[in-house]
Amino acid sequence: MTDAHTARTIVGIIGNVISFGLFCSPVPTMIKIWKMKSVSEFKPDPYVATVLNCMMWTFYGLPFVHPDSLLVVTINGTGLVMELVYVTIFFIFATSAIRRKITIAMVMELIFMAVVIFCTLYFLHTTKQRSMLIGIMCIVFNVIMYASPLTVMRLVIKTKSVKYMPFFLSLASFMNGVVWVIYACLKFDPYILIPNGLGSLSGLAQLILYATYYKTTNWNDGDGDKEKRFTNAEIELDRA
């Protein structure tokens, strides 16, 4: 029992490290925005969506919702802070229309979380009931976020080019999914297993596409505008 607990802790720490790398993936985009003093064609949607995703998973990992899930709280709490920084940078350099959009989205997310927290703590009185409700909601949000890599994968198949699908990001996504699947299996947790199982399959599919279309990719094609258009679809591949 102790060995299984130790193994789960070690795997969880590895998962934290890999997930942290994924949370750091938008940093180059943020640096570019900061230097340009403009968000240009970049969209805030992936970051705003990930804020809600991180809030849900952080709440899920709290001891009065799902006990013994400290490592879920640490990585998603860290991710929440990082995503809020990204949203703040977007807000600073965005136009008034985009700022209004961000403000409305963030207020709606806060209201939604407040309702979820109140209903969970007031109407559900066991960790089993709370885990089931929040876990199912977390799965739904994760599945929705998988639409992002599907967009890039469709572009790869259409253009027969992997130029806009970074290899190391795809590899990290695959490894992240696999590690959290192992974590969920060591002490069976279907709410972590299902979304990360799907995430690992998504990452594997990206790696297969990379191997398939690598030789047909024109790396010298300097289509900067297209790169901007699809950058946001690349940076939020999956979350623990």
Write the pLDDT tens digit of every residue in 129-147: 999 999 999 998 887 776 6
pLDDT of the residue at 237: 44
pLDDT of the residue at 240: 52
Confidence check: pLDDT of 231 > 90: no
Q: Which domain holds residue 19?
A: 4-238
Angle between helices 70-93 and 27-36 in degrees, nearest 10: 20
Number of structural domains the chain divides into: 1
Neighbours of 227 (CB within 10 A): 14
SS3 of 239, please? coil
Mean pLDDT of 226-238: 46
pLDDT of the residue at 148: 65
For residue 235, name the pLDDT band (cuts at 50, 70, 90): very low
Mean pLDDT of 29-38: 90
Question: Could you report the per-residue pLDDT of 146-160, keeping only the tens digit for each?
Answer: 666 777 788 888 888
- Of the two residues 29 and 134, the one the predictor is more confident about is 134
The alpha carbon dihedral of 172, 175, 181, 183 has a sign of negative
* Gap between the Cα atoms of 94 and 99, Å rounded: 6
Residue 35 CB burial class (10 angstroms; 0-12, 13-18, ≥19): exposed
Hey, what are 166's tokens? 């970074």
pLDDT of the residue at 2: 58
What average pLDDT does the structure give for the chain?
Answer: 85
For residue 17, name the pLDDT band (cuts at 50, 70, 90): very high
Residue with tokens 């060591």: 186
Confidence check: pLDDT of 226 > 90: no
pLDDT of the residue at 153: 84
Mean pLDDT of 178-203: 90
pLDDT of the residue at 230: 47
- Of the two residues 1 and 95, the one the predictor is more confident about is 95
- Of the two residues 15 and 233, the one the predictor is more confident about is 15
pLDDT of the residue at 81: 96
